[in-house]
Chain A
Amino acid sequence: MNQLPRAPRRVLAASLLALTFSATTVSAQELNILTWEGYAEDAWIDQFEEEYGVAVNPTYVGSNDEYMAALAAGDTRYDAVVIVSSLAQPAIKAGFVEPLDLSLIPNFENISPEFRKLEFLKDGDTQYGAPNFWDIQPVTYLADEVAECSFDVLFDEKYRGRIAMWDDVSTIGDVASYMGFENIWDLSDDELEQVKQKMIEQKPLIRRYWSTGGEIIELMTSGEVVATNSWSYVTEALKTEGVNAEQCAPERPTAWVDSLFIVKGTKNLELAHTFIDFMLRPEVAAKVYDVSGFSFTVRSAEELLPEGTLDGTNLSEGPAFVENLSFWGEIPRRGRYLEIWNEVKAATVE
């Protein structure tokens, strides 16, 4: 230390001072959320930050397994997390999340009854998750390149080298459902093998297994890929960028519902509840819909959208449609599903 020339010492002292200073000015009022692209856009996050005088730091995940891994590793940076239907029970059972104090979430009443009664968001009578968005897993395609849309497009030789699939275990469910299997989340070894063969057959058509929304949006904007199993958010984002993209529902769609949970042991318990309450406001649900195209559970948001917006969408279907959907369920043999997925990726076909 003594040998440092004078000038650098001064710089060092100054930067140490700056560090301490910045550390103390950042207040405790920060909310860290683990979420998806499309759920934490400035359009409503800025409003929350202003109204409550806090800073929201969203961290985006690329797959459902990612936040579970973060929670399992005991990552305590996060206050709230979005968890998909299939992982809700494992997260509750593993003790990764706090029970919700519904008295702090008056807007919970805004959620339609068919979602409020979902058993996998509860443990007995205790509510753990606040369901706010759901969707079927659509096929997104470039309308200029693909004439007729269905899940068949993804297996059509015409689009050799221009097809993509989401790099996620749920894609195994999509393909299994397309093949006519019923128990898509609990397939036997033999059935999994059949799904694997189907996906290996598809490989010559595949340009890429994508992992983040940004990646597939880029692949479709540049014309590298013409069709993929996808999220409504991707279709919406492509349209916003001026790409002539459309989406359709597969013949036997799989569906998911995302819910907000509070991470076990958060120091911002009350603020996390406030955030969930905010996300369940009809006007926020309408904004999220506008950006992401995901269907909301807060039915009254419908009145805030221009008439006719929801024609032909999931939301025009009514509660019976939802009751008949089987949302992504828990995958008891998750490791095996992932192994099959890796085997598909590692297979070489010419």
Chain B
Amino acid sequence: MTEASGAQRTRRFARPSLTTLVCGLAALVYVAVFIAYPYAHVGVFSFWEKDLYSIRPAFILDNYARIVERPLYLHVIGNSLRIAAFVTLISAVLGYTLAMFLERYAGRWKTLLFFLLIVPLWTSFLLRAYVWKIILGRNGLISGILGQFGIQPDDIGFMLYSEVSIVIALVYIFVPFVAIPVFAALEKIPPSYREASADLGARPFQTFLDVVFPLTVPSLLAGSTIVFCLSFGDFITPALLGGSDNIMIANIIIGQFGAAFDWPFGSALAIVVLATVMLVVTTAAWIGNRVAEGR
């Protein structure tokens, strides 16, 4: 390191620019107001106790004990994890394929198709889930088409109000969350990388595996993480499209804050869910990074 750059460094530390200060402060305020404060509240509530229609400050572990003691809660958390994992896996594969197609093969349609991918994001989440009620319903589009071939609505009854319909709707909603970042990563790979790989005798698939894919892993992971978190915590889709046994953890939590008026118990559930998500996401990221480095 030269003396000049060392001096420059010291100076930068000693006198941070106004921009750095403002940005840092903004980030700090953001974290404090939108993350730390609300979560701290939820954390504190989870030790309180409820009395009919009021809640009282206390320090009790009953709420957490109830989560462990009654099989309902861990069972539903397990269910939600399974659904979220399914949705994430399917969205990752579909989203990646879609991004590959857009970047490599869409040609002059690229802009239009990318636009079409974004358009649904402009409409309300509720609407995007609700539309599947119409598509999958008894008098819906799919049952109409199948009816032409003599298939009765009763034969395809599994489609609406089931885990299948929840997964379909969530995948539909979340595919862009994977496709968009992966597409951006693919576009950034200079053509020369592929050419170099081909010059060295690699077949296209090998090039993809050894050159292209590792460069897109961070985007794929980022997209998949968002999909996992959002689908794990979703309550609208299971409420609209779920059947009699597709209750997800967010539905129970929202019930604690509404119907049951048990904020302390709802908070304890939320904390457990938060911890579960963090654990899953950290593990997945760690494995993902190992895979990417291993290549």
Residues of A participating in the B interface, judged by any CB pair closer than 8 Å: 63, 65-66, 68-69, 71-72, 90, 94, 96, 161, 169, 203, 206-209, 211, 222-224, 334-335, 338-339, 342-343, 345-349
Contact = CB atoms under 8 A, between A and B. Distances in A.
B245 A65 contact: no
Contacts of B247: 342, 345-346
Given A161-B154, A222-B138, A66 B244 contact: no
B52 A94 contact: yes
Contact of B79 (A66, A96, A343, A346): A346
Interface string B233-266: 0000001000111010000100101111110010
A222 B139 contact: yes
B258 A65 contact: yes
Contact of A63 (B53, B54, B259, B261): B259
A203 B138 contact: no
Contacts of B245: 203, 345-349
Given A208-B161, A223-B138, A342 B258 contact: no
Nearest to B245: A348
Contacts of A90: 52-53
A72 B244 contact: no
Nearest to B244: A206
B290 interface: no
B138 A65 contact: no
| A71, A206, A345: residue with the most chain B Cβ atoms closer than 10 Å | A345
B139 A68 contact: no
A68 B72 contact: no
Interface string B52-71: 11100000000000000010
Interface residues of B, number: 30
Nearest to B157: A161
A223 B239 CA distance: 20
A222 B138 CA distance: 7
Give 5 closest A-B pairs by Cβ, nearest first.
A65-B259, A206-B244, A72-B53, A345-B247, A94-B53
Contact of B54 (A72, A348, A349): A72
B267 to A, nearest CB: 14
Given A222-B138, A343-B72, A346-B79, A94 B54 contact: yes
Given A208-B243, A335-B260, A348-B245, A342 B154 contact: no
A65 B53 CA distance: 11
A207 B154 CA distance: 12
B176 to A, nearest CB: 29
Contacts of B258: 65-66, 69
Contacts of A211: 239
A347 B244 CA distance: 9
B76 A346 contact: yes
A206 B79 CA distance: 19
B137 interface: yes
13 contacts: A65-B260, A66-B259, A68-B53, A69-B257, A72-B54, A94-B53, A203-B244, A203-B245, A206-B243, A222-B137, A224-B160, A335-B50, A343-B70
B203 interface: no
Contacts of A224: 137-138, 160
A222 B76 CA distance: 30
Contacts of B260: 65, 334-335, 338
B110 interface: no
A342 B262 CA distance: 14
Contacts of A335: 50, 260, 262, 265
A68 B261 contact: yes
B168 to A, nearest CB: 17
Contacts of B50: 335
Contacts of B139: 222-223
Contacts of A208: 161, 243-244
B240 to A, nearest CB: 9
A207 B261 contact: no
B95 to A, nearest CB: 30
B261 A65 contact: yes
B75 interface: yes
A69 B52 contact: no
Contacts of A222: 137-139
Contacts of A69: 257-259, 261
B285 to A, nearest CB: 30
Given A69-B261, A347-B245, 13 more contacts: A90-B53, A203-B245, A207-B161, A207-B243, A208-B244, A211-B239, A222-B137, A334-B260, A335-B260, A335-B265, A342-B247, A343-B72, A349-B245
Contacts of B138: 222-224
A242 B244 CA distance: 28
Nearest to A69: B258
B269 to A, nearest CB: 11
A342 B255 contact: yes
A338 B239 CA distance: 16
B163 to A, nearest CB: 10
Nearest to B66: A339
Contacts of B52: 90, 94, 334
Nearest to A161: B157
Nearest to B160: A224
A224 B76 CA distance: 26
